[in-house]
Structure formats: structure tokens, C-alpha cells
Amino acid sequence: MVYLDNSATTRQYDEVTDLMYKVAKDDFGNPSSLHSLGFEAGNILYDARRQIEELLPPAGNVIFTSGGTEGDNMALLSSARKLRRRGKRIITTKVEHPAVLETCKRLKEDGFEVVFLDVDVDGYVEEQVVKAALDENTIIVSIMAVNNEVGTIEPVIPVGRTVREYNRKHGTDIMFHTDAVQAFGKLPLDDTDADLISASAHKFHGPKGMGFIYMKKRHSLPPYIIGGGQEGGFRSSTENTPGIAGMGLAAKMACSDLIMKTSRMGIVNNYLLNGLRAEIKDIMVNGPEELGYTLHEHGRRCPGVLNVSFEGTRGEVLLHTLEQDGIYVSTGSACSSNKTGDSHVLQAMSMTHKEIEGALRFSFSEFNTVEEMDYVIDRTKIAVERFRRLGSFR
Amino acid sequence: MEKNLYIVRCGEVALKGMNKPYFERVLLERVKNALSCYEDASAKWIDGLMFVRVPSDIPEDEVISKCVRVFGVASVSPAVEAPKDINEIGRMAAEFMQKVIETEDIKTFKVKGKRADKSFAVESPEIARQVGGMVLKACKVLSVNVHNPDCVLTVDVRREGAYIFRDKIRGFGGLPLGTNGKGLILMSGGIDSPVAAFMMAKRGMSIEAVHFHSYPYTSQRAQRKVEELVKTLAGYMGTVRMHVINLLPIQEEIVKNCPEDETTLLVRRFMMRIAEQIALKNGCMMLITGEDLGQVASQTAEALVVTDSVVEMPVMRPLIAMDKVDIMDKAREIGTYDISIQPYEDCCTVFLPKHPVTKPKKDRIERSESALDVETLVKNAVESEEIVEIRP
């Protein structure tokens, strides 16, 4: 099996599975209980939180969530609630994940003014475009760190600086949120200048149904889930101790030797692209050509993703052809592949319907190898040729 | 254990003359089978009505929904059995109505008396009058309205006892399953074919299904959707055997060798041929399709003539003269609509020509087809079938 759908989800580390089993079996106390079993469970939370906080910018807290979607919802809804009297303008981009886009649409219905910024043909939003959209009515800026469909590294670093300067100059308190679901575990995030960062454990070999949000210490937002006061009162609900322990370990493992791992991922990524180009005619990379290895190299492509259009084919048919060879990829985004209609990201990049229809996304993890790519290139070539010979009339 | 009584009425079965005992026996089997999940449920015919008894801890709605799904059942009524004594009948009728007014807002009623057993001393109008009087006495909130009552209570005095009932929950009617041979439905994932299968089954025909896909041009999810549809149908007709066939090898040959605008029609002809082979092997005497005159290019009158001409077996098209909206309503009624509208590609839409022929000529199509080794293609397809058994 060659699993190249790591932007949809990843295989959980065995060590994480073992740890979760142990915690579920032995350390089942409620962290809120006063007895020693509860205390032990509390220690597990403490350790996991430290493990994750070490990988993020200083002076921030980590709050555990049920995943990336909850983190995005929380960041936007709680910030909007807090700042709704001060202003109404929310700035985001057209290429965000639905967890951000749909939440913004809801806020728009609730009376907020939402600006969906355009991107260029690489899916990149220019820093100046963001800057030009800022005004004193603005309360939130939300821009993803890495795009999930094409891998574009967005200008999170300069925009963070811009927002901070704007706040200082105009006495505003605009919140800057970044959806780092595709970035965490792929690119270092410890120098991100954001107020809120959301991430999801199953994208970095952790458990599904777990995520976290990072919040700068000086902020306090109204609670998102109301109840018994867990997570500093911000997100009530008895903590998912096995999930949290698993996420902590997965974060630590994914980010150890990160530079080495992403460099290797970049080699695999480029090897695949070069191989496809050499073997198959009329293909097009969607997103930036060059790879980038930190958030400072914005405008480049994260080594975790390679999105390619095979002219005159249909991605879905290629996908089902490749799955017979044990190769798993996706068309656009796995979350939307059940929906009819074209990917909103590829549309925002001014791609034609034909180009979008022929798009496949290969997404990598630290486990993929160059040898695997030889096989993938070979099988993809056969699948594309077969399709092109036959066509599908539309 | 105490049991509740349900009276099941048959529709057309009663009209079957000499064959009536046969139809009644089959219908009884079908009803028993529908209730076989309950221990101690029983059913028997007495003088043209079926008496079903089910342990009283089983919810009434559940029993009724199981009975009305049996083809051949015209209606079902939960009933109470009373001794053949007018005072006892009146007492139990009053009790029955007291329960009704506890849960429903009913102000007026009337009693309808029936006396099938002429040896019973009280005549029908008098049964109605006396029982009505006793109900009135017991239920102060009620008054009689003979023209437009909220509720009609029927008292039916028969040879073996007296029966009190009120609602008649309608069934689908039709004829008991299995009394009209076996047919093979060409099952796509669309709205029409499940309705077509349902309608033929309702007339007593046992059903097998054949489904064509074009994997990898279609996905496994598309097939799962078809299985969901058949599972819904199995709720009416019991376990259904579905033959699954990958049509892609044939589609590839057609695309390579034949004119583009004839693709759909040529594919349809292959489907019919393959279906006929499967039908013959499995004891099906007819093919069934969900075609609807003029709905799409392959369903024009000319196209139907051209597809029909490749098989000898009769092809049933129960929807042929229905309007799409009516088919959709029927699909909603039988519970297949919401499954059918899930958006998955099916094998008919994969190689859809931009401008399909709508008035094909048989000789031209046959000429195009002569570029293909029809016999071998059909044989290979039939041999590659996979069979899935789909339970309700």
C-alpha cells in the first residue's frame, strides 16, 4: 500500500496507540476528582500540554479541542462575540477550509461584515491585499498557514506583523487567527506571530477527534463550550485523557527532527513531480512550483502536498484506478470529494472546470519513500494513458 | 401471554374465483413470514378475513407497519374480540372508546353495526343503537353524529365472535408476492428502477436484480448506494439476490469501435442481452426496467424499439406512461427517494455522448455493432458476475 492521502488523515503512530490504550485502561480517573487517581490523570494533561506548548510561540496557552473544525469555530465565534461591540469586520480568504469559511458565512448572517480575499493563481494571498483590507472596524483576521488542497504557504508571518503594527498604531485589538491544521508537524510554528492557532491531532499521526487551539496569554475569550469549567473555563467537558495523552506524544514525535523529516518529504515530493513530468505529457502543478520549509518561505509550497492536473482526465476515475494498485490519493480535498461541484480552492485560483476535473492531490508523511514514488509514477502513467485513450466524452 | 388482535383484509385476492384458496394461502404465508420475528404470533383465515394475533407487549404501530407492507393486504385494523352478548359487546366497546378519547381529541362518533351471523338475535341497526347508547353513557365528552363523525366504531358480529374496531390502515393492495412468477430488474442507482421493481413486486412478482457498474469510472460508494436501495426494497419483498456486473470492458470496446452518438444505445443493448442471459439462468421469465417514455435520449419510442429488439424475453416497463413527478412521489412513499438522489456517478452517465441519437435506426445500430464480437463480450460479462444477497 502506498498511502498518499496524508492531508486527509494520517496513520496513528504505534507508540501513540499503545499509550492511549494504557491511559484508557489504567489512568481512567477524572482530572477534576480530588483523589489521587484524578490527580494522576491531571498530570497526564499537564505533561501533554507542556509537550505541545514547547512547539508553539512563547507566552501562550494550549486548550484542548475535539479537532481542527472545533478550533476554527472556537477562534472565530468566541473572538467575534468578544469584540462585536467594537467592530464588525472579519477578514479571511477564499481558500480557507470549510471550518473557517462556513463559520464566517454564519457570522455574516449574524450581522458581521466578512471580507473573503482573492488569491493569485498559486492560491496565495498577497500580504498587501490583507493590509489594504484592514480598517478600524476590523476585529478578526483569519488566514490559514498552509492550504490543504494545494499546499501553498500563506503569508502568516508578515500578516501577523502587519496586524500587530496596525493594532499599535490605531489602538485596535484585532485578533489574528491562523488555521495551522496542515502546517503543524510539517513546518516549525514556534515563531508564528498569531493570537490564535488551531490544529488537529490526526493530521500529525495522533488520534482522530482531538485537536488544540493556542491562545496568547494576554487574551481572554468568552467560553466556547459552557459547563463545568475545564480548560480554564474556556472549553468545558471532561477531558479526553487518552486522546490528549496521544496527541501530546504525537506532537512530540512528529516535530522531533522536523527539519530532517520535511527535507526528506521535499525530496520525495520533488521526485514524484519530476517523475510524473518525465513520463506523462500535459500535466500542470496546481500551487507554487518551489517548495518551502518554514513559514518564512511563504508563497512557496509545503512539502506535504503535491496537486497536479492531468489534462483531459477525470481525477476521480484516476483515483479509483490507482486504488486498485493500492495507491491512495484524493481529488481536491477529501472532505469535499463527496460533494458535487468543483473545489472552491482551485476555482479561486482561476482554474477552468477541465483543469479542476483532472486534478489529483498527493499528500505525504514522513513514512513515504522515493522507492514508493517509482511505483506511483508507473501506475499513474498507466492510469492516465488508459483514460486518455478512452476519454469519457465530457 | 395476552395477545392483541388485528383484522387484516385482502384486496383483489378475494376476487380470484377458483384460485382464491391458493392466493389466500400464499397471502397467509406472507403475513406469517412478516410477523415471524415475534414468538407466538399467529394468523388464520376465517370467513374471508385474516385474524392476526400478536403478543400484546409488541407496539401496535410496529405490527401494523409490518402487515401493511405485505403485498395483497388492503387494510389492517387493530380490534377487540367480545363474546356474542350485546351487553358484553357494549361494555367492551365503551372501554375501547375510553382508551381512544384518552389519547385523541374526539368529540363525536357513530357506531356501525354488522351482523354476518344471522343467528344473533339483535339486528344490525339495533346493535348500533344499543352499543352507541352504552358508549355515550361511559364517555360523557362524546356525542353522536351520524353524518360527519370524528370516529366510526364498527361492531361486526360473526360466527365465531363479535369484533370491535375503528381505524382501517391502508395497505399497498396488489397480490401476494410469488403468485406471479419471477422477474429481473435492471437496477441503476436512480429514482426510477426501484419504483419499477416495487410496482411489479406489488403485483405478486418475485424479484431478482442486476446492477451494472463501470469501476473504476464509477466508485464503490455508488454500488453501496444501490445496495441500500435494494435493502429498502427487501423490506417489502424479502431477501433480494443482486447480480453485479462490470460493464467497463464492453464500454471500452464500444467507445473504441463505434460512433460516439450511439454509445448509450449500444450500451443499453448490451445490458439487455446480459440481463436476458442472467434471467434465463435464474428462472426469471421477464426483464423489468424503470424506463419512462421520452425521459432521456435512450428512452424515446425509437430507442426502446432498438433496445427491445435484442431480447426475446418480454420487457416490463411499469413506469412507461408515468410522469416524472409521479414517479418521484411514489419513490418518496416507498422510501427510496432520499437514497436515489445521493450524487454518485452511475455507469449510464460515464460515457455520455454530447449529442446522443434520439431517433436511432435499427439497421444503422446493427451495422455499428458489427464491429464488435457481441457474443464473446456478453459471455465474458455474464461469467464475471458477482452475486450479493441483500436482506431487509
ipTM entry: 0.73
pLDDT at A201: 98
Could you tell me which chain A residue has the CA closest to the CA of B355?
A: A393
Model pLDDT, residue B347? 61
Give the structural domain span for A335: 2-9+257-390
Q: Look at residue B373 in the predicted model and tell me its pLDDT.
A: 96
* pLDDT, tens only, A166-194: 999 999 999 999 999 999 999 999 999 99
Please tell me the distance in Å from A340's CA to the nearest CA on chain B: 7
CATH of the domain at A349: 3.90.1150.10
Three cell numbers, residue A305: 502536498
Of A80-94, A271-285, B145-159, B375-389, the least confident: B145-159
Q: Check whether residue A224 and residue A83 sit in a common domain.
A: yes
Q: What is the pLDDT of residue A337?
A: 42
Q: Which CATH class is domain B182-390?
A: alpha beta
Q: Where in chain B is the domain with CATH 3.40.50.620?
A: 182-390
Question: Quick check: A335 pLDDT over 60?
Answer: no
Q: Testing the interface with A: which of B250, B345, B348, B357 to mutate, by most A Cβ within 10 A?
A: B345
* Enclosing H/E stretch for A380: helix A370-390
Instruction: Tell me the chain B residues in contact with residue A394 when contact means C-beta distances shorter than 8 Å.
Output: 352, 354
Class of the CATH domain delimited by B83-169: alpha beta
d(CA A100, nearest CA chain B) in Å? 25
Q: What is the pLDDT of residues A102-151, one digit of tens each?
A: 999 999 999 999 999 999 999 999 999 999 999 999 999 999 999 999 99
Q: Is A178 in contact with A196 (CB distance < 8 Å)?
A: yes
Instruction: State pTM to two decimals.
Output: 0.83
A84 lies in the same domain as A212: yes
From CA A221, how far away is CA A228, in angstroms rounded?
Answer: 17
Whether A67 and A143 share a structural domain: yes
Q: Are residues A73 and A185 in the same domain?
A: yes
For every residue of A200-232, DSSP letters joined together read EGGGGTS-TT-EEEEEETT-----SB-SS-TGG
Residue A250 shares a structural domain with residue A277: no
Domain final residue pick, A238, A255, A272? A255
Name the residue among B252, B260, B343 with its Cβ closest to that of A393: B260
- Comparing A75-84, A116-125, A235-244, B154-163, the range with the smallest average pLDDT is B154-163
**Residue A332, pLDDT score:** 62
pLDDT at B168: 87
Min distance B218 CA to chain A CA atoms (Å): 7
Residues A356 and A284 in one domain: yes
- A255 in active site: no
pLDDT tier for residue A262 given thresholds of 50, 70 and 90: very high
The enclosing domain of A145 has a CATH number of: 3.40.640.10
Residues from B in contact with A at Cβ < 8 Å: 215-219, 221, 252, 255-256, 260, 263, 343, 345, 350-354
Looking at the structure, tell me whether residues A375 and A332 fall in a common domain.
yes
Which neighbouring-strand residues pair with B110?
B152
State the Cα–Cα distance between residues B377 and B150, nearest whole angstrom: 64
Q: Measure the CA dihedral A56/A59/A61/A62, to 10°.
A: 0
- Single out the catalytic residue among A104, A255, A302, A335: A335
- Which cell numbers in the block locate residue B272? 439487455
CB contact under 8 A, B345 and A393: no
Q: Nearest Cα to B342, choosing from B211, B184, B229?
A: B229
Taking the C-alpha atoms of residue A285 and residue A291, their distance in angstroms, rounded to an integer, is: 12
Position A393 pLDDT exceeds 80: no
Asked whether the beta carbons of residue A393 and residue B353 sit closer than 8 angstroms, the reply is: yes
In contact, A193 and A157? CB cutoff 8 Å: yes
Query: In CATH, which superfamily holds the domain spanning B1-81?
Result: THUMP domain-like (3.30.70.1510)
The model's pLDDT over A202-217, given as tens digits with 9 standing for 90+, comes to 999 999 999 999 999 8
Check whether residue A216 and residue A186 sit in a common domain.
Answer: yes
Q: Within this chain, do residues A185 and A165 fall inside the same structural domain, yes or no?
A: yes
Same-domain check for residues A147 and A263: no
Residue A291 shares a structural domain with residue A172: no
Q: Where in chain B is the domain with CATH 3.30.70.1510?
A: 1-81
Considering A224, A239, A255, which residue would you say is the last residue of a domain?
A: A255
Using CA atoms of A69, A70, A71, A76 in order, give the dihedral in degrees to the nearest 10: 90
- Residues in chain B with pLDDT values less than 70: 345-349
Please identify, among A233, A255, A277, the residue that sits at the C-terminal boundary of a domain. A255
A275 plus A371 within the same structural domain? yes
